[in-house]
Amino acid sequence: MLKETLQSEVTRLRKAQSLARQHEVFGGLSPAERIEYDERAKRIRELDEELNAAAVFEYAAVQRRHDWNQPSETDTPQNEARQPYRSREKDSTKEYTESLKTVHSPKHRTEE
């Protein structure tokens, strides 16, 4: 609601500035009118800064909500992952178990 109030004030002041410029072009401004014109211009700049700050804050809040609501990254299931070492593990495991079988086999014990 504050933003709407600021925006409506800026709109009203800009219309007054436009009318003052028309009067300046067609007849000039008195010193009092010039002071009012400068004060309105200063107030318009202040309001524009406030509106810009509010817009930046609102954008940051929207961005934070967007980032928060994104789905999380999930790990690739192991059966779908490309892991070339798996085949090496299987081969090395077979060789290791085969070597254990030959060392502990009864045939090998009788020869000793």
**Is 104 a domain residue?**
no
Q: Provide the token pair at 90.
A: 């299987």
Q: Which domain holds residue 34?
A: 2-69
Do residues 17 and 44 lie in contact, with contact meaning Cβ atoms separated by under 8 Å?
yes
**Is 86 a domain residue?**
no
Nearest alpha-carbon partner for 10 in 49, 63, 55 = 49
**Is 94 a domain residue?**
no
Determine the 3-state secondary structure of 20 from DSSP.
Answer: helix
Q: What is the total count of domains within the chain?
A: 1
pTM above 0.75, yes or no: no
Angle at 17 between CA 13 and CA 20, to 5 degrees: 140
Give 13-72 pLDDT, tens digit per residue. 999 999 898 888 888 888 898 899 999 999 999 999 998 988 888 888 888 877 777 776
**Is 25 a domain residue?**
yes
